[in-house]
Amino acid sequence: MNGFAILRSVQHYVGKIRTMRNEIRTQRFMDGLPADLRKDIGWPDMYASGRRNDN
């Protein structure tokens, strides 16, 4: 395994961690909104259905 392959693996891992942190931050923000506003935008129902398709 050369240096570029290792670097690419590390970058991929860091990218996944960053994505997970962003998703957690978004969930916390959205959960902090009033219930009626969350319902109007379809949270978490719309989010949950979209995530199932990504897996």
pLDDT tens digit string along 1-55? 688 899 999 999 999 999 999 999 999 999 899 999 998 888 877 666 665 544 4
pLDDT at residue 34, rounded to an integer: 94
In sign, the C-alpha dihedral spanning 21, 16, 38, 48 is negative
Asked, for residue 55, whether it belongs to a domain, the answer is no
Tokens of 10: 């590390």
Asked, for residue 12, whether it belongs to a domain, the answer is yes
Distance, C-alpha 2 to centroid of its chain = 31
pLDDT at residue 51, rounded to an integer: 59
Asked, for residue 9, whether it belongs to a domain, the answer is yes
pLDDT at residue 48, rounded to an integer: 66
Tokens of 33: 């909104």
Structurally, the chain folds into a number of domains equal to 1
Domain that holds residue 26: 3-50
Cα 45 from Cα 36, distance rounded (Å) = 14
Asked, for residue 19, whether it belongs to a domain, the answer is yes
pLDDT at residue 55, rounded to an integer: 43
pLDDT at residue 13, rounded to an integer: 97
Largest CA distance in the chain: 54
The model carries a pTM of 0.66
